[in-house]
Amino acid sequence: MKLLQTAERISHQEDSDNYVYQRSMLAYVEAAKIVSGDVLEIGTGSGYGVDIISSHSNRFVTIDKYQTGNISAENGLAHQKNVEFIKMNVPPLTNIPDNSFDFVISFQVIEHIQNDKKFVEEIYRVLKNNGKFILTTPNKKMSLTRNPWHVREYTITELDTLLKKSFQSVNTQGVFGNDAIMKYYAENKKSVEKITRFDIFNLQYLLPRQLLQIPYDILNRMNRKKLLNDNNALVKGISMEDYFIQQANDDCFDLFYIAEKKS
């Protein structure tokens, strides 16, 4: 079964996704500096982070709600003997024992989870003592419009509060961009405002999000392609090095948090 390819599932093969793809890659590269031992990922996506994390793990289990069995072959990862793919809707983390992983990573997933409290509790459960949960999620303060694919988005305080209901320690970092990233963001903001000015009744916030998902996805994809056509060099020239991580504030694009389960 082919993976569902919406604008929410970033592809390295789509040039118009490059702005988001490079930011997503940064999360994997930064996590790879931290992880070791047995690692669980929730949210395989198109699989572009598998090779990065598995090469720093003794055992790497990666979960997605869509069929992931073909990702290994598609990404040239058939040689990775320490990788296991599981198709699963979460929460709960079905058939995964307590205290079984040194690290859990989950990038751009928690905003899609209806029961986020249960999601965090399950991750805490499967982590070993002194294990760490590394996650990213969009910073609500920097969102340009409602994303109907997201159940919710978080501010710095909201995500910190949620994680501390289970975890004893939370390191609140954020993903920021340099001048090239901010130029793209400004152009994107202008483009989005041209679209949303027609929403005079503020329907994006009043209608059920499920009704808006497909129209949003179509407009999002069209907008990304327009930005690529209007400034090809800017969009294609963005690299992972244009992003950086430091203490989170309202100007970061993503929240990059590390929560620790202390014994």
- Residues 71 and 67: their CA atoms lie apart, in Å, by 9
Q: Which of 150, 108, 101 is nearest to 122 (CA)?
A: 101
Decide: helix, strand or coil at residue 90: coil
- pLDDT for residue 23: 97
pLDDT of residue 5 exceeding 60: no
SS percent in the chain: helix, strand, coil, step 5: 40, 20, 40
CATH of the domain at 30: 3.40.50.150
Query: Would you say residue 32 lies in a domain?
Result: yes
pLDDT digits (tens, 9 = 90+) for 104-145: 999 999 999 999 999 999 999 999 999 999 999 999 999 999
Query: Would you say residue 9 lies in a domain?
Result: no
- pLDDT for residue 76: 47
pLDDT digits (tens, 9 = 90+) for 59-77: 999 999 987 545 544 454 5
What is the total count of domains within the chain?
Answer: 1
Mean pLDDT of 23-48: 96
Whether residue 215 is preceded by a cis peptide bond, meaning omega within 30 degrees of 0, is no
Query: Would you say residue 1 lies in a domain?
Result: no
Cα separation values, 78 from 7, 47, 87, 115, 172, Å: 27, 13, 18, 34, 36
pLDDT confidence tier of residue 79, bands split at 50, 70 and 90: low
Residue span of the structural domain in which 23 resides: 15-260
**For residues 232 and 205, which has the higher predicted lDDT (pLDDT)?**
232
Q: In what order do the strands lie in the sheet with 254-260?
A: 83-87, 59-64, 38-42, 101-107, 127-138, 254-260, 169-177, 243-247
Give the number of other CB atoms < 10 A from CB of residue 59: 16
Give this prediction's pTM: 0.92
pLDDT of residue 6 exceeding 90: no
Query: Would you say residue 2 lies in a domain?
Result: no
Mean pLDDT of 195-206: 88
Query: Would you say residue 6 lies in a domain?
Result: no
pLDDT digits (tens, 9 = 90+) for 80-106: 789 999 999 999 999 999 999 999 999
Query: Would you say residue 8 lies in a domain?
Result: no
Query: Would you say residue 224 lies in a domain?
Result: yes
pLDDT of residue 161 exceeding 60: yes
Query: Would you say residue 138 lies in a domain?
Result: yes
